[in-house]
A and B are shown apart, each in its own frame.
Chain A
């Protein structure tokens, strides 16, 4: 019997497993449905991860890599390419003690098995809302897909879904994909948001839309999709304060792709099978302060509990879940239990464990004002705080409004020589002639490069063809284009 089975090997699952190990558990198993650990981080090749947790800028795969190494180092067991089909509980022998947790899994290598555990940590993450959830009218041609699906196609498989793109919704993945599609040679015509404010982080508006001159239409939505087999055009209309389209405000965009970035939903269908309570509005797992769910011995963390903006926060929350699971198992379940009340009728006692109050997760408040930029004002993109900087150009670029010294340097640079760290992928040619097995390897510049050089850099990146899988951190091009930055591999 495992001490704990962690379902999901993304950032939440890995951090929870590591924390459970640090808290003294040894028989830990992570079950991951993909063929590698890392979860959705593997397709998030952009940087900006880790500032909170590691105090440095990492790409998604680099962030994942640090935890993958920890998992292996600690000797945590991992089942890859394995799907959890069912979660249930089985009464302990003689009805004494907490119920056994049964995790039914299936995998090509794993086979079909029922695993037993003392505790379970749910870390299944979330999925994207789709067109069907928002009932966008129009035809249903190819070329309408969620931003996350497009991200996987472009960054992992190396497939281009289209060349002329409209993005519906201003969630972070949509903004990130606006930049990615542009870097890969597509034209992003517009980003359309039904709310009067942007859904994603301010810094993503700056570095993903503004940097490339992509317009953001707030209080607008897609009111028609045209094209029988492949999308040909979308119609965008302004909406009123009740979010109803206003006739006569239609704009027509000829495009071959519509990406949707209209929200994320915690993936809790499995949790429901174990009788765990799920919030009907957010679909997040209902949890106590110690991240325990409403069913004893089941903990939840990361985007399955509620959707997070930043992976750093997922990690911290998951560590808490891992510690709580360890405490639960090591305390032999019972020691923490407190006698609650004795039934006056039959004299039996009921007990409860101290697991804190139910946590209410509030949605982040939109930073609507952030985009009303005055002259000489910029949003700092160094960290997710998105400080609103005022740069006094006439006073030697003195910066006000910054929360840290990095903001000062950023503000000045934006007006003298704006620079960006660029992330992309390079081709990995499969051995032999089997093009089907070609894939893409994430890369980044080791330092920021001038904004004006971005597309020149992309031409260099396009030409690179690796024939074998490189090491993380390996330098592919030294001092690329003489820009004082190396092009390095950003995935382990």
Chain B
């Protein structure tokens, strides 16, 4: 049976990618079904880009366990797979004596969760480390193991590694029905039927729909939107640590953090939405702006270069829902924050559950776990001179704001999971991420799609299917 796999993973956000990465360490035939035209298109591409230390989740929960483990694994994986990652440390700041008490509670919880290096600082000590903090800050919980990451490159690197190790990634493949026949799951998609004894549901906000195809409903989806500001690199040094406010019922609150790319990221709010509504709102953005200024009053919001919103796959359960919901069918649902931090641990845990369910998994002898890509901007002068001599395409700067070269773009076209859209290129090499937001490089990258892939210009996409950049050519079809 051509479409028969040992395991099918549904969804290729960071959770699906992490599951596939973990599964690809074993002698298994793994198939990944992704409805989008690229990996990392859902919550993975629009979040706070933080690897949390793990002091926030309630002790004893899956969230607590997998966050702490996931954060340890993330450091190793990012090193091996060349994913931008920096352990910049975080502070949770308190504005009142009550909140200082909350910090002490978080300290205790974090220590029970196994988070290393936590310390409670006075307001003065906090400002010494981070001079931009408000004079109103009365104390802070310092978490040195908190880190920042490129979430989409993380997801991509995990997915690429799975593919290099033999997994099949089926893009534009949306699951429409599931049934169990003779100990096999039949997974019906818009691209035909797939079969496997085991299925991992990592469909993010849509996990509940997939769950209901396989098992009776036992949780309720309650997606929550978070809105953000991304600020110019000139604001990127406003804080070096990730600054949280005390968590409340809605989540971890509005944070201010540098990104691994050198920008400043501010957000999110938290608002219930129906399904995957990623629109920005004036009210939401105003709330984020005003709340963040409490932590760091000096942020120059006129240096904003982009707003975005992401939807957390929250449910009516407080914890992640990772369990065998039907024979051989593992749910990874309700993966809201700290899902990105926990991702590789969720992958491990899913495999553990599959093995408990009877899956036989023999480790591969030749698992390949390495990845390197050239980031021209980060090379030394000598290295730059060398690479341009070797391959002149590295001498042509396509994205001026982020200094990304043609060579880097052409290289990403040849990787295991090539981009199919302008934003796909953006997520792979960083073009269009800067202050002009693709105004200058958009035309050049469109041309590269036309030249390299032989696309007709009307086929060039901004992002997902249906996001065509152009309706046609001038002088034609008036």
Contact = CB atoms under 8 A, between A and B. Distances in A.
B467 A132 contact: no
Nearest to B309: A140
Interface stretch (A17-25, A57-65, A160-168, A286-294): A160-168
Nearest to B46: A140
B298 interface: no
Nearest to A142: B462
Interface stretch (B91-99, B137-145, B238-246, B393-401): B393-401
B414 to A, nearest CB: 19
A338 interface: no
Contacts of A426: 475
Q: Which of B229, B230, B403, B435 has the most CB of A within 10 A?
A: B435
Given A108-B393, A112-B395, A133-B302, A153 B470 contact: yes
B280 A159 contact: no
A135 B439 contact: no
A284 B450 CA distance: 36
A130 B436 contact: yes
B400 to A, nearest CB: 7
Contact of A137 (B279, B442, B454): B279
Contacts of B450: 436
Interface in A95-121: 104, 106-114
B457 interface: yes
Interface string B291-311: 000000000001011111000
B58 interface: no
A142 B439 contact: no
B306 A81 contact: no
Interface in B445-459: 446-447, 450-451, 454, 456-457
A112 B392 contact: no
A139 B285 CA distance: 13
Interface stretch (A144-152, A353-361, A367-375): A144-152
A464 to B, nearest CB: 8
B389 interface: yes
A52 interface: no
A149 B443 contact: yes
A138 interface: yes
A131 B435 CA distance: 11
Interface string B416-440: 0000000000000000000111111
Contacts of B406: 108
A154 B474 contact: yes
Interface in B214-231: 229-230
Interface residues of B, number: 60
A159 B443 CA distance: 9
A112 B229 CA distance: 35
B472 interface: yes
Contact of A462 (B396, B405, B454, B475): B475
Nearest to A231: B467
B437 to A, nearest CB: 4
B237 to A, nearest CB: 13
Contact of B466 (A157, A158, A229): A229
B469 to A, nearest CB: 6
A158 B461 CA distance: 17
Contacts, number: 169
A138 B279 contact: yes
Contacts of B278: 139-140
Given A106-B384, A106-B395, A426-B475, A139 B279 contact: yes
Nearest to B460: A159
Contacts of A113: 385
A158 B475 contact: yes
A295 interface: no
Nearest to A111: B388
A475 B473 CA distance: 24
Q: Which of B439, B469, B475 has the most CB of A within 10 A?
A: B475
B467 A33 contact: no
Contacts of A461: 475
Nearest to B301: A135
Nearest to A438: B473
Contact of B396 (A81, A132, A139, A148): A81
B96 to A, nearest CB: 30
Contact of B307 (A108, A132, A184): A132
Nearest to A440: B474
Given A140-B278, A158-B474, A229-B465, A149 B388 contact: no
B220 to A, nearest CB: 24
Interface string A319-348: 000000000000000000000000000000
Contacts of A230: 466-468
A223 interface: yes
B56 interface: no
B436 A128 contact: yes
A193 interface: no
- Chain A binding surface SS class: mixed
Contacts of B366: none
A229 B401 CA distance: 25
A145 B470 CA distance: 11
B392 A109 contact: yes
Q: Which of B281, B397, B465 has the most CB of A within 10 A?
A: B397
Q: Which of A113, A140, A149, A225 has the most CB of B within 10 A?
A: A140
A162 B396 contact: no
A110 to B, nearest CB: 7
Given A127-B435, A133-B302, A112 B385 contact: yes
Contacts of B465: 229
Given A127-B435, A158-B473, A152 B443 contact: yes
Q: Which of A146, A160, A440 has the most CB of B within 10 A?
A: A160
B304 A107 contact: no
A256 B306 CA distance: 21
B381 interface: yes
Given A141-B467, A142-B463, A158-B473, A107 B436 contact: no
Nearest to B439: A149
Interface string A181-196: 0001100000000000
A85 interface: yes
A427 interface: yes
Contacts of A223: 282
B478 interface: yes
Interface in B226-267: 229-230
Given A130-B436, A132-B437, A157-B443, A184 B396 contact: no
B471 A256 contact: yes
A407 B309 CA distance: 53
B466 A159 contact: no
A460 to B, nearest CB: 11
Given A85-B403, A154-B474, A436-B450, A130 B305 contact: yes
A425 interface: yes
B4 interface: no
B320 to A, nearest CB: 27
Contacts of B304: 132-133, 135
A127 B439 CA distance: 8
A230 B467 CA distance: 5
A161 B471 contact: yes
B478 A149 contact: no
Nearest to A425: B474
Contacts of B307: 131-132, 135, 137
**For the complex of A and B, 4 pairs with smallest distance between CB atoms:** A142-B462, A229-B466, A132-B306, A185-B478
Interface of B: 229-230, 278-282, 285, 302, 304-308, 381, 384-385, 388-389, 392-393, 395-397, 400-401, 403, 405-406, 435-440, 442-443, 446-447, 450-451, 454, 456-457, 461-475, 478
18 contacts: A33-B397, A104-B381, A109-B392, A110-B395, A111-B395, A112-B385, A130-B305, A132-B305, A140-B308, A153-B470, A158-B474, A159-B472, A160-B474, A223-B282, A225-B279, A229-B464, A436-B447, A462-B478
Interface of A: 33, 81, 83, 85, 104, 106-114, 127-128, 130-133, 135-142, 145-146, 148-149, 152-154, 156-163, 184-185, 223-225, 228-230, 245, 256, 269, 425-427, 435-436, 438, 440, 461-462
